[in-house]
Amino acid sequence: MDIDRTQPPTNLPITAIPITRVILEQGGLWGRWGTRIAWSIAGMSLLAALASAGANAQYFQREAKVVEKYHSLSRMAVGKVAIVDVSGAIMGGQGFTRSQLDRIEEDESVKAIVLRVDSPGGTVSGSDEIHYRLTTLAKKRGLPVVVSMGGIAASGGYYIAMANGGRENVIFAEPATLTGSIGVIIPHFDLSKLMKKLDVDDDSIASGPLKEMLSPTKQRTPELAARERKILQSLVDEMFGRFKEIVKQGRPKLDDTELAAVATGQIFTAKQAIAAGLVDTIGFLEDAILRAVELADLTESTARVVKYSRPRGILDEVLGNSSPGARLTLESFAEWTTPRAWYLCSWWPALLANNP
């Protein structure tokens, strides 16, 4: 007896047939899209898991704010020479430089510091904070500090380079380095005339006439403008005096006459800086490292050079590392427009942000 297998069995309940049809019909268009969505989610989850695996070791390091990486010399050596990187405009606060110094303070195996500076400077308070913390750490631990200057180490960048303990042959500048710019600036832009042309008045309410010092939109009488300038100049003079004191600590061989000759705000090439007594020698990062190894009583076979970086998260691994400085936020805008004094080699410091 031939059996027609294309027909449903006759011994099944009649209700089973339409139920099967309903299930199959519902698995049409929606089923296809549902399957694609499910596979997409699964693929993204797998990608995130693989990406996190590469960065997972970083999260288990003792200090989450920085990640230590091998740089050069002996991988197996116990004694470390730590490279502290200061790049971009110096804004101060809980920045990456602070995190690097905190990490070194907790690591007893660090025997010397190479301060790598590639910065045009920044705020007076930020530059002074880095100098203070680096100087304090070096004295507390007896760590020699050797400076390696990158493309630019000017103004506040030169200020923090003075945390070298006043030793000889510890400031290295690359052949193309620009340095110096010893001075202070409080930027101010007077837009009051432009506001008047646009028929816009600054009607701010202040507790006193000096509360609006440095306001770019406020119209001032000649008497008030002269009073403000006198006050601001006294602030600049005092901060400039501290800058020169810091330079004397880092370059003790400079007498007052020599210091006055270079503390004019001028920038210098590497060769000019050597002639002026601001830099010891021309050399690259590797030369500064060897000098630090020597001062720490280590050798190339007993020293491990390390550097620090920010830990990368899962989204950084998946989407790529995007620069925080590229994102304009209300917080950064408020930071830029806050009146402040700068140790900075720039004519428009308000446009610079810290390069983490």
Which residues are catalytic, by number? Answer: 155, 211
Strand partners, 305: 72, 81
| Residues paired with residue 148 on neighbouring β-strands, in sequence order | 116, 172
**SS3 (DSSP) at 89:** coil
> How many other C-beta atoms are found inside a 10 Å radius of the C-beta of residue 262?
20
Write down the residue that tokens 């030369």 correspond to: 287
In angstroms, the CA 311 to CA 65 distance is 7
- Taking each helix axis from N to C end, the angle separating 96-106 and 124-141, rounded to the nearest 10 degrees, works out to 10
> Which are the contacts of 288, defined by CB distance < 8 A and separation ≥ 6?
114, 116, 146, 147, 148, 172
In 3-state terms, what secondary structure has residue 147?
A: strand
Q: At a CB cut-off of 8 Å and minimum separation 6, what does 271 contact? A: 282
Angstrom distance (rounded) from CA 217 to CA 201: 8
Amino acid identity at 53: A
Cα angle 111, 307, 163 (rounded to 5 degrees) comes to 55
